[in-house]
A and B are shown apart, each in its own frame.
Chain A
């Protein structure tokens, strides 16, 4: 069995899990200015992500750790070549985390407003930067002879990557608005649902532009043309995205949120399927790309880590699912009081 190929799948699944999960709390927080009027509504938005954001963020930590263990050269390349971008992502995520935790610790309105703004700006930046980073992965990096990197920080801010950045923001905005519409009550929930309805058109337009631009500027489609069954992934993405809008229109907000979850997941998996077998593609010459064949760990390590993932990831998914069930109730006033001890 070729463990490097299995690990490509795990690698894709871990990043996908991160985007589909942390996506909604990033989106819910950066759109809080739109969905919440007044202290009580803002409190509902922040309380709605409270029990989840930390557990969601660990998908990122695990994706990072798994990259280190399974594809050390990719871990080293990705993070050192994109050094300034990575530092900015770290600052954003750190600011997001502390802002969510500090917000409720002092009652003064100015204190809360400061951390709410910090959390929103940081969440938006994180969404944008992840999009820009993955846009560059889809496009290919300036990896040259000897595995050297010839790109620059400003080179990362190319139109294609910026479009991907905006697409990520739109994904997370839609996802977060659906979350808020499902988790709040009354006028606030209606407002979030209306906003989500509008955001969907923005998302659909950006997704269409992304597909066209990808066709023109990247090699992402080659795999799909060579193996037609892979088209099930982008097809599933299109169906989920449409379903999310239809379900929202029918007032089935929980189901619409799940459809949006599926859309993000299938979009992300489509992107990884387009990259395969590259993890870090070279724009200079495919010979310099880091692939499942030349960048993976030894079979021994991959086998061990396969066992760890197969045993423990289902357990993680089970208890995280239980937590989502435990805190499934929409946050009306009574629910907020019930969970509002901290």
Chain B
């Protein structure tokens, strides 16, 4: 393999690994802050137990998100030097702003939260977690405005042999970035909701600390349901946005080959492995695809046959990934709605099968968010910046395949070991359940 392929593989490995840990923090921070606020306002020790329990899982998970983020910050320069030189003038700004306004905040206040139990008032301590939760989501916004620019470049001019920023407000207002932001953080919140439901279900099945885990389950279920419904709405907007701005990606997501108006939605599609056309197209819903793509039954949907071969993304993984993600998204609404309903009726423990199902459902939103990002990033290929810079033109010229082999092997082995330890720790503390702590009061 050449340095380009290896660099792409390394980016995929390091980004996907980073993204095993980040999404949970996006949502679990809010839930932990919520539990701690209930404790701060009511003094109810059960809420303190919940705060400590979910907060600890948050921390174990947070640690890997932070350290693997370092790699993300540096490898644009390491492996993608030509990319960095070409777009740094505009792409570097949101990354630098992210570090300055968001990452400093979360990294500093997580320390305050962990070590500040005996030093701060209850309310001030809860405020530290609100700040962490806010800052992690704020981080996501800047990163996704940067990614949104790669998907749909705006606010720049080609000058001095590079893309220079000319309009920062346009970068800020880039709808692509905002849709990605809402799509991603909502998906992270669904992950957190399912994580809390799944772990609580495990304990409810064993009748451990039933009251505290029922409360946790309820909060997780409501959070997951609201997020999953909003996610479907944003997902629809996202589809329209892709159809409008990235026709090649949209065509690959739906494996559409012929350009046509009044396009039907094909429920059963099997693309050819050769990457040319579909072997099976059955169960058509008239006008479905035109409606989906443009909210207009007669709109013209562009097919892959009208896109030059060198500008097409890989169809099969994008198509399969997209369908799987959408199906899982629907499942999340059903499962969390059932959870909310059973929790409201106080009948969770009458349905052990449902509880068992929810334990096994913990990985599903993780799978959905990973393949969702694969669709986004693979679907953008062959471009690094859509329509502006090809991925192949962005790779570092001075870095050899041998060097990337070494670093890729290093990252893969090292990350695998860390991942195993971290997930083992998460499982250990999740199974341990809650402690009954003595309320910690600030000493003057």
A residues whose Cβ falls under 8 Å from a Cβ of B? 47, 50-52, 54-55, 57-58, 60-62, 64-70, 72-73, 75-81, 83-84, 86-87, 90-91, 93-95, 97-98, 101-102, 105-106, 148-149, 297-298, 300-301, 304-305, 308-309, 312-313, 316, 319-320, 323, 326-327, 338-339, 341-342
Contact = CB atoms under 8 A, between A and B. Distances in A.
Nearest to A320: B108
A152 to B, nearest CB: 11
Contacts of A47: 115
Contacts of A50: 111, 114-115
A73 B82 CA distance: 9
A90 B119 contact: no
B112 A68 contact: no
Nearest to A150: B398
Given A57-B107, A83-B407, A304 B73 contact: no
B433 interface: no
B75 to A, nearest CB: 8
B427 interface: no
Given A300-B164, A341-B52, A149 B398 contact: yes
Given A51-B111, A93-B70, A78 B96 contact: no
Contacts of B330: none
A311 to B, nearest CB: 9
Contact of B96 (A60, A93, A308, A327): A308
A55 B164 CA distance: 31
A69 B88 contact: yes
B403 A61 contact: no
B260 to A, nearest CB: 43
A83 B67 contact: no
A55 B131 CA distance: 14
B88 A72 contact: yes
* Leading 10 A-B pairs by shortest Cβ distance: A72-B88, A79-B77, A69-B92, A68-B92, A338-B118, A101-B63, A51-B111, A65-B96, A76-B81, A80-B81
Interface of B: 52, 56, 59-60, 63-64, 66-71, 73-79, 81-82, 84-85, 87-93, 95-101, 103-105, 107-112, 114-120, 159-160, 162, 164-166, 168, 396-399, 403, 406-407, 410, 414, 418, 421-422, 425, 428-429, 437, 440, 443
16 contacts: A61-B99, A64-B74, A65-B100, A68-B91, A72-B88, A80-B396, A80-B397, A86-B77, A87-B78, A87-B407, A87-B410, A94-B67, A94-B418, A98-B63, A320-B104, A338-B443
Contact of B95 (A69, A148, A313): A69
B410 A91 contact: yes
B96 A84 contact: no
A58 B443 contact: no
A342 B59 contact: yes
Nearest to A299: B164
A76 B79 CA distance: 9
B67 A84 contact: no
Nearest to A54: B107
A90 B70 contact: yes
B106 to A, nearest CB: 9
B234 to A, nearest CB: 28
A335 B440 CA distance: 14
Contacts of B60: 101, 105
A190 B418 CA distance: 37
Contacts of A309: 100
B104 A65 contact: no
B166 A69 contact: no
Given A94-B70, A341-B117, A342-B114, A83 B76 contact: no
Given A79-B74, A84-B407, A308 B164 contact: no
Nearest to A342: B114
Contacts of A91: 410, 414
B406 A75 contact: no
Contacts of B74: 64, 79, 86, 90
Contacts of B403: 83-84
Contacts of B100: 62, 65, 308-309, 312-313, 316
A69 B111 contact: no
A101 B65 CA distance: 12
Contacts of A79: 74-78, 81, 84
Given A54-B108, A72-B84, A342-B59, A298 B164 contact: yes
A128 to B, nearest CB: 18
Contacts of B67: 93-94, 97-98
Contacts of B73: 61, 64-65
B440 A65 contact: no
Contacts of A78: 77
B85 A62 contact: no
Given A68-B76, A84-B403, A86-B78, A76 B63 contact: no
A111 B79 CA distance: 35
A309 B101 CA distance: 9
Given A64-B74, A308-B100, A323 B112 contact: yes
Given A72-B85, A80-B79, A58 B99 contact: yes
A73 B92 CA distance: 11
A304 B168 contact: yes
B278 to A, nearest CB: 42
A271 to B, nearest CB: 21
Contacts of A342: 56, 59, 114-115
A15 to B, nearest CB: 13
Contact of B111 (A70, A86, A323, A341): A323
Contacts of B90: 301
A51 B92 contact: no
Contacts of A64: 73-74, 77, 99
A313 B93 CA distance: 15
Given A62-B96, A101-B63, A105-B60, A297 B89 contact: yes
Given A50-B115, A87-B78, 9 more contacts: A68-B76, A68-B95, A69-B92, A70-B96, A94-B68, A301-B92, A320-B104, A320-B108, A326-B120
Contact of B104 (A62, A70, A76, A86): A62
A319 B131 CA distance: 12
A341 B125 CA distance: 13
Contact of A297 (B92, B168, B428): B92
B101 A312 contact: yes
